[in-house]
Structure 1
């Protein structure tokens, strides 16, 4: 049984630290979404000038995405004849395409994401106990750390690919220096190696890299914030269960009132979890499919460059491989975290002194125990549950595709 010898911490008349807490929770996500113009579409509370700036940023970001996607896509599909080079371009062009789709999705579902953010804000405002606030802050810290991990891995691998690799691939033939770009296809429109055209295109490619990794980080950050918030609410639910029989926190309430509050809190969590799954399922599906294919291609690139003895390319592709592997691992870990936290509710219900409840009140807890056996899950398009097991399947599938790819290209 749980130890109830300690007195509960002092009650808060609603959360006086509400503004600080919600800013702390959403800070990294806001930093990621603002440069790509999506934050004010999601959050909604914006002045006219802020809306105009967001619109300008969206136009700029979408133009950069199209500037890379259209020429490189046409070149890869229709003009490149070498199968090895074509495969080498499928990875970056495919990532560009999926990033553009995710960007459009974030903008199109801005209202749904905003609804989830307002739910988080309302929960922060309604916190009544100091220990509840500490639980929520602890889980918010987990969400921030997951976002920071995503930023570190993606930006380290991505920027090295867009800067080190093209600069190290320069070739000198006589008096002519061949300066390749990360994404080809511009020779259909202009000479991409002439100065200052090359420098301008190179800078746009670096800007494009920042945009695409902001998009991917934004999706990861939103998922981490929402799921860790649910975990905090579930921990609060367990404390409400602990207080159900004796009512030390609420001496002036009856068991029926405490049971009603507990049930309403549980239903609110379940509805929020369902909203999270609905708004994230398409993004999670995109991440799962994209990561599987790109991990496969990066494994192929590493083996190819190993045969060519290109140390710089091997290191760059290996860093990218680690980055995308950790990115999908974070999504799978978030899904696993959600299921694990929900599974604790059944044990928490049984561990209280339910046998001290009068009449048939203990029977009301049976439904909570049964529902804990069927926890809400974060899914990839309702096809796959995100979990550590799914992460293992992704790695196995990428190796299978790698063997198939090597057979085709040899």
Structure 2
């Protein structure tokens, strides 16, 4: 079988190292602290892989430190329905983050394959305008990743720091109860005693950083791979424009240019299929978690509005905006891929096919036909990621909110 990820026979782009570094920079920064980068990058040394394994163990231990006490407490010990609902949001997000972390580790080989595919494409660029197209798309991916980081960390860290520090409750004149985001430690030790409280509080903040790093890592991978595919589709359309005249590919026949177009098209389709295989399970977790947690955050905002707690309202509202924008990015990425692939049919038809010799124009029919069925990013292969899906998520969260209000009243 032909190995599509091997090094190209000839490297045309002399700037490929800088281009690859620029493309993967933000993703590498996010994946390294949680130990995933050296797991997926095949050029990592044994020492780096050992560090990666240590980081993964440490991160998973911190997540378990949150889930093991708070999970049973939320489900079994807490009897107040309002308090139980308030805990479902953060505990549920931590659980889904841990599951996504597992999927990232399980899909490490496939992610590495996609990264090598991206590197290969940067190495074989022959024309400066093609490189500019790819750099423009890389910039889009970097901006999406940056926005995801800003929104998630702003909302998430404010919830894990401002909320506990601003809601200290006095039980009596001699004792002050210092709340924690995740309860349930009282059966193991006294979480209110110093320095135990401070240690647990810091571990909760560390777990929040890990959770949001996992979510932004998934978003970064999706953004980089999707925008890279869009750049390759745009290159394909320039190759189609050059099919008849051959101004760029001089001294080549129509057959050779058509062969190049077909190979490029198939390669992009395979890459998108690989990306879909890597991300479809994680996207399903994102979709389900976003629907439920957005519903809970809407409920929290309404409850705190009734309690007139300005700090809590502001914190929950920021978190609501953050998670809503996060799922919007995933849906936008899916919409972007479909939109770019759908342009291939128009580009193929707009070629001066009537000037092609013989029956060469018939060879474009297959490209046009395939373009009518563009590849899509899906959530667990159940539903497509698109802006329509995003609107469905918001509508569903409102429906669940009304149901939740009816049950709790």
Give TM-score scaled by structure 2 length.
Answer: 0.97
Alignment of 1:269-308 (within 5 A): 269-308=268-307
Matched with 1:3 is none
Following superposition, the deviation at residue 48 of structure 1 comes to: 2.4
Alignment of 1:203-282 (within 5 A): 203-282=202-281
Aligned-partner Cα distance in 1 for 2:385–2:49: 35
DSSP 3-state at the match of 1:35: coil
Does 2:102 match 1:86?
Answer: no
Matched with 2:98 is 100
Return the match for 2:39 from 38, 41, 61: 41
Aligned-partner Cα distance in 2 for 1:298–1:36: 27
Matched with 2:59 is 61
Query: Contact between 2:376 and 2:384, CA under 8 Å: does it hold in 1?
Result: yes
Aligned-partner Cα distance in 1 for 2:305–2:162: 17
Matched with 2:377 is 378
Matched with 1:142 is 140
Matched with 2:364 is 365
Following superposition, the deviation at residue 400 of structure 1 comes to: 0.1
Query: Contact between 2:11 and 2:123, CA under 8 Å: does it hold in 1?
Result: no
Following superposition, the deviation at residue 49 of structure 1 comes to: 2.0
DSSP 3-state at the match of 2:252: coil
Aligned-partner Cα distance in 2 for 1:45–1:182: 40
Aligned-partner Cα distance in 1 for 2:203–2:339: 43
Aligned-partner Cα distance in 1 for 2:235–2:81: 56
Following superposition, the deviation at residue 269 of structure 1 comes to: 0.5
Aligned-partner Cα distance in 2 for 1:13–1:211: 38
Q: In the TM superposition, what whole-angstrom CA distance separates every residue of 1:158-184 from its partner, at most 9, and x where no partner exists? A: 000000000001023312111000100
347-356 or 155-164, which deviates more: 347-356
4+ residue runs over 6 A deviation = none
Alignment of 1:97-176 (within 5 A): 97-172=95-170, 173-176=172-175
Matched with 1:317 is 316
Following superposition, the deviation at residue 251 of structure 1 comes to: 1.5
Following superposition, the deviation at residue 31 of structure 1 comes to: 0.4
Q: In the TM superposition, what whole-angstrom CA distance separates every residue of 1:36-82 from its partner, at most 9, and x where no partner exists? A: 00101111221222122111111110110000011000100110011
Query: Contact between 2:78 and 2:84, CA under 8 Å: does it hold in 1?
Result: yes
Following superposition, the deviation at residue 13 of structure 1 comes to: 6.3
Aligned-partner Cα distance in 2 for 1:288–1:61: 23
Unaligned runs of 5+ in 1: 1-11
42-51 or 95-104, which deviates more: 42-51
Aligned-partner Cα distance in 2 for 1:141–1:335: 17
Following superposition, the deviation at residue 267 of structure 1 comes to: 0.4
Give TM-score scaled by structure 1 length.
Answer: 0.96
Following superposition, the deviation at residue 293 of structure 1 comes to: 0.3
Unaligned runs of 5+ in 2: 1-9
Aligned-partner Cα distance in 2 for 1:100–1:314: 27
Q: How many aligned residue pairs are there? A: 399
Aligned-partner Cα distance in 2 for 1:119–1:127: 13
Root-mean-square deviation (Å): 0.9
Aligned-partner Cα distance in 2 for 1:56–1:283: 23
Aligned-partner Cα distance in 2 for 1:232–1:299: 38
